[in-house]
Structure 1
Amino acid sequence: MDSIDLEVLKTSAGWIAAGHRCELVTVIKTWGSSPRPIGATLAICDDGRVVGSVSGGCIEDDLIERVRVHGIVRSAPEIVSYGISADEAHRFGLPCGGTIELAIEPLGAHSRIAELLQRLEQHELVERRLDLRSGAVTLAKAPAGAVLSVGEHSMTTLHGPRWRLLIIGAGQLSRFLAQIAIAMDYHVVVCDPREEYRAGWQVDGVELVHAMPDDLVLELKLDHRSAVVALTHDPKLDDLALMEALKSEAFYVGAIGSRLNNSKRRERLLQFDVSAAQLARLHGPIGLYIGSKTPAEIAISILAEMTAVKNGVPAELQIQHAAALTPPGGNACLVELS
C-alpha cells in the first residue's frame, strides 16, 4: 500500500511512459479553511483520468473539465488560485471562504519522475527543485528540516518518507501496523531477533532487521520524526529498547500490554537508567480507545494515537486505553491487551 503522494508519482510515470500528456498539481498555499494540506498533489492525464487530491473534489472537477475542453496545453509551470472571491469560494465549495494556490506543472521526460521514484525506493528523502520559468528539474538529498518552499522563479518540494517507525516484533499485529504506516509516509523498520517470527514475515516496502532491538535503537539515532512501538510482550526484547528510545528525541514511544503489565513495565524501567521524566513519555496501554479487538483495529488505534501526538493534539482531548472507561452502572469497557 503506497502513500497518496507516491501513488501520484507512480501513476504519472506510467502515463509518461505510455506517451500521454499529463500535469502534476501541487498545493503550495492555503488561506482560511482548506480540505487538503500544503504539499498535497494530484496528477491529471490528457484523457481526464486523475489520481490524488488537492481539494474535496470541487477543484478537481474544474481541472478535469478544463482538460476535457481544451486538452493539456501548458508548456511551462503555472501558479493558479481558486477561491479568491466570495463567488468563487461558493462555486468551488471552499469552506469558510478558503483560498487555495496551486502549482500546475506539465510533465515529461525532463521532469525526472522515474529517477525520483528510483531514489524513493531506497527510502531517500528527496528535494525536487522545479524552475518555474523553464520547467527544468533538479533532484538532491533533502537536508534536515527541509520544507516545501516557493520563490519567484522556483519551487522546491519534498518526496519520500517524512517519518520513521521502528516496530519491535514481527507478529501479525506488526504486519497491519506496518502496512498502514507506509501509506502514511513512514519509513518502517521491523526488528525481531527471533528467527521463528521472521520466517515468512514480509510486507513490501518494509525493512526487516535481525538485531537486538536496543542495539538498533542506538544505531538508528532516533530524531523528532521517529516513533518506536514495542509489540513482542517479551521484557528481554522490549524493555531495553524502550529504555534507549525514551532517552532519544523520538516523538512517540509506546508498548502493547494491559494496564497491569504496563504498570509492571514502568516499575522495571525505573530500575534501569530511566528518569521519571523520561518514563512519563511512555505510551501504554498503547493506542486510543476505539473499542478495538482485531489486529487490524488495534493497528488503527495505535496509529491514531501516534498521529494525535505527532499533530500536537492535547492529551486531554484523547481517549486513551490507559484511561478507565466505565459506563454508569457497568464495568470498565476497556480492552485489555495482555
Structure 2
Amino acid sequence: MKNPYKHVLGALGVTLAVISLSPASAQADPPTNANDALAQLHDASQKQESLGEQYNAALGAYNDRQADVQRATAELATDQAAEKQAKAEEDRYRGDVDRWVSATTEGADLSSMSALLTGQSPSDFLDRAWLLQEVSKFNGDAMDGLTKSLDKASAASKAATQAQTKANDASAKAKQVADGLQQQRDAAVQAQQAAQTAYNRLSGTQKTALKSDKGQPFDTSNIPAGAAGTAVKAALGQVGVPYVYGGNTPGSALDCSSLVQYAYRQAGVTLPRTTYEQVLLGTPVAKGAWIPGDLLFFGTSGNVHHVAMYIGNNQIVHAPDVGQVVKVVPVSGGGSDYYTARRIVGG
C-alpha cells in the first residue's frame, strides 16, 4: 500500500504558506447582505475543513511514527540482550579453550604415547587412554563451541547495530512530523475560529434555514445489495445530523470524512479517518462513471479537503459546512473543485 501520509509533509508547506498569508488577525469584512454572509461562511468552512484534515492527517502520521519508535526501541532491546547473551557464551567457550592451550604450552603431554610410557599396567594404559579421548573430545567441543559462539556473537552484534540505526531513523522521522504539528494545529484552530465568526454573523433566520435543510429527496429502491449498498443506506440514515468540525459521533455530530468512515464501518469495511488517507484507497473511477457507494473527493492532489458518497441519480450524501446538517444534494453541491473518485468495494 502507498504511504497514507505521503501528502502530509508536502501539505505542510502549503499550510505554512496559508498561515503566513492569512494571519490570525485577518478577518473578512462584515457582510453587507445575507448572500455575502452565506458566501463568507462557505469560504471559511472550506478553509477550516482543509486545514483540519491536514492537521488530522499529520497527527495520524505522528502517532504512527511514535509507534514505529516504540517498536524499534523494543526490537533494539531484544537484539542487545541477544548480543549480551552471545558474548557471555563466547567468553565461556574461550575460557575453556584458553585453559587447554595453556596446559599444552606449559609442557603437559596429552598424547596416547605418553599414556603408554607412563602407564604401570595395560589396565592403567586403557584408563589413561580413555581419559585422553574424553579430554580430546572436550577440547574439540570447546573449539567447535567457540567457533559457533563467535559466529553467533557477530550476527547478534550486527543485528543490534541495525536495530540501533532503525531506532534512530524512526526517532528522526517522528521529530520531522512533530516539528510542524503545532503550526498545523494552530492553523486549524484559527480556521475554526474564523468559520465560527462567519457563522455568528448570520441572521437567526439563516441559521434556522441551514439547520433544517436536509437537501433533496432521495430514492433508496435502486441501492444495490452488498457492502456498498449497506454503506449508502448507513450514510443516508445520518441525514439531518449536524455537521461538527472534527465530529465523529453518529447521530449527533459528524464531519465529511467521519460520515463515510462510519457508513462503511456498518458494512464491515474499515476506512481511515481523513480525506488524505481515504483518497488513496480502492480503485479510481472516471468522472461520471460513479455507482452508489463510490467516494467523491474535492480539492487538489495536495489538498483533498472534502469527501462525499455517491448514492445514484447524480446525487451525493455528505456532511457539508458549519451550521448545516448531513444532506443529499446534486454532485455539483459537493463543491466546484471536484478532484477524483474512488471505488472502495466491488469493481
TM class by shorter-chain length? Answer: under 0.3
TM-score by length of 2: 0.23
> Highest relative contact order (Cα 8 Å, sep 6+), 1 or 2?
2
Higher strand share: 1
More helix by share: 2
